[in-house]
Amino acid sequence: MTHVVHTLDLEATPTEIWALLGDFAGLASWVPEVDHSSLASTEDSGVGAVRRVQLGATTVLERVVAWDPPTTLSYDLEGLPPIVRLARTTWHVYPVDNASRVSATTEIEAGALPPQRAIARAVARRVGDTTSAILYSLKAALL
């Protein structure tokens, strides 16, 4: 499995950060790179909630697999190339002094063979770049 981690300290409380991360359908309202986001499930929060996210020509579904306000949000990405067996992004929010540390971890599994591991690294870089952009959009939205 390939992991990419991005971390940023933000001048906000975990509750303030969760107000954005936990608005699962509202991603497009604060992330300029996201063209559209909407619910694709009857649940609007919690494990099992699904959102549709469009970034340019790329559309993915994100299905929540862990939801623990205001500290943890984890979702699986669906709609990536079929060789990708697992694509997961996990957000953690930790209080640090009078601020918070936010980390976003992207995990990609495509198989154990060298070509599969290479594909996993390439996909992890691409998804990780998007996750990093979301992290910096989170910072801007909280200013």
Across the range 66-70, mean pLDDT stands at 97
Query: Quick one: average pLDDT of 64-90?
Result: 95
**Sheet (strand 2-10) strand order:** 2-10, 99-109, 86-96, 72-78, 58-68, 50-55, 36-39
In order of their start, the domains of the chain are: 2-142 (3.30.530.20)
* pTM score of the predicted model: 0.93
Q: Looking at the predicted structure, is the pLDDT value of residue 10 above 90?
A: yes
Instruction: Give 84-110 pLDDT, tens digit per residue.
Output: 999 999 999 999 988 999 999 999 999
Give the CA distances from residue 16 to residues 31, 56, 91, 93, 131, in Å, rounded to whole numbers and listed in that order.
Answer: 16, 28, 14, 11, 19
Looking at residue 119, its amino acid is I
